[in-house]
Amino acid sequence: EMFQPIFDKPGMRPSTNYTRPTQINVSLTIHEILGVNEKTHFLITFVWVKLLWFNEFLVWDPVDFDGMERIALPVEFLWRPDFYFYEFIGPGHMGEDASPHVPYLYVNHNGVVTYVVPSKLVTSCHLDVFYFPFDTHTCTLTIGPYLSIVNDITMGHHSTPQELFLKSLEHIKESGEWELTDFDSELLSFLYQEIVNPDEWAMMIYTVKIRRRPTHYLVNLLIPSALLMLIEILSFFLPAHSTDRSIFKVTVLLGYTVFLLFVNDILPNNSGGTPLIGGYFLVCLVLMIVDLLESILISRIMHRSSFGTVRVSSWLRL
């Protein structure tokens, strides 16, 4: 009853003095790294954003309210900051689409409002796949108010980066393809250079470092390729004067070509260039072809020398 006038005006920033900005303390934890898209350069994560601020009108003494210290209220009743992610490019904006809707927020008797928003985020991130499958990437998640300048909204840390890193590690399942290796946050402000009146926005930059777990790719790419190369080399033990050897080598080469067709689908390729491992496969293929040519040459020489028409010099025989 007493707070009804405040609930009627959820558009008003809860400050008793409008020249004083409202400080929003933020903490972001990563709950899952859902994947990356190397072609279009984006990162998909599921994050929890916790926002805390002070609502100067919602202060009460618990003694007067049967010891009630905090209360859950529908989000529509109260003012909320207009936060968004700067790198955001896909569905999963705070409280929309793919993200679960959070209908309530908590208000403490001292006026501290706690609002936790889980979001599935698709954010842009430059991905360099040169070292695939041993690649690491550094992405940023920048959160800040969309419209409100620093005179209205300032930001602060709710937890230290170290705490957030440990919390995120707890949540991320061990089995995913991506591993979180580092997490950092930095408070900055963004100055929009306009001659008349430069405006400044507060923002918090979270730096996320992820590393790919290479096991899957080792088993599916490197080991088959290495085995085919091994067979190719061992085929030199086949008798050279029969044509079997060349035929065998052609068969292995065919097998390798089919393997490369599958690899093409797995290898990430983007404007940033093809990965180094693609070059390795190409070198293997070239070696196999050289090998085949050599076998043809050898059988040709042996064939001629067996008729005794040509004297094979000792260095060539070697």
Ligand X SMILES: *[C@@H]1O[C@H](CO)[C@@H](O)[C@H](O)[C@H]1NC(C)=O
Instruction: Select from 298, 303, 119, 108 the least CA-distant residue to 206.
Output: 119
Q: Find out whether 107 and 78 touch, Cβ atoms under 8 Å.
A: yes
Least distance (Å) from ligand X to the CB of residue 23?
6
Question: Which residues in this chain contact ligand X in the complex, by CB under 6 A?
Answer: 17, 19-20, 23, 25, 52-54, 112, 156-157
Least distance (Å) from ligand X to the CB of residue 56?
11
Structure tokens at 224: 């088959």
What's the longest Cα–Cα distance across the chain?
116
Least distance (Å) from ligand X to the CB of residue 158?
7
- Could you give the CA distance from residue 55 to residue 21 in angstroms, rounded to a whole number? 12
Give 19 or 175: the residue with its C-beta nearer to ligand X.
19
Give 160 or 243: the residue with its C-beta nearer to ligand X.
160
Give 55 or 246: the residue with its C-beta nearer to ligand X.
55
Instruction: Select from 51, 123, 44, 50 the least CA-distant residue to 88.
Output: 123
Least distance (Å) from ligand X to the CB of residue 28?
15
Give 17 or 314: the residue with its C-beta nearer to ligand X.
17
User: Which pairing describes strands 104-108 and 70-74: parallel, antiparallel, or unpaired?
Assistant: antiparallel
Residues in Cβ contact with 30 at an 8 Å cutoff, skipping those fewer than 6 apart: 45, 46, 47, 168, 171, 172, 180, 183, 208
Least distance (Å) from ligand X to the CB of residue 163?
13
What are the φ and ψ backbone dihedral angles of 109, each rounded to 5 degrees?
A: -65, -20
- Could you give the CA distance from residue 116 to residue 75 in angstroms, rounded to a whole number? 11
Give 53 or 85: the residue with its C-beta nearer to ligand X.
53
Residues in Cβ contact with 47 at an 8 Å cutoff, skipping those fewer than 6 apart: 28, 29, 30, 31, 118, 119, 121, 141
Give 90 or 156: the residue with its C-beta nearer to ligand X.
156
Least distance (Å) from ligand X to the CB of residue 188?
15
Give 81 or 275: the residue with its C-beta nearer to ligand X.
81
Least distance (Å) from ligand X to the CB of residue 59?
12
- Could you give the CA distance from residue 210 to residue 27 in angstroms, rounded to a whole number? 19
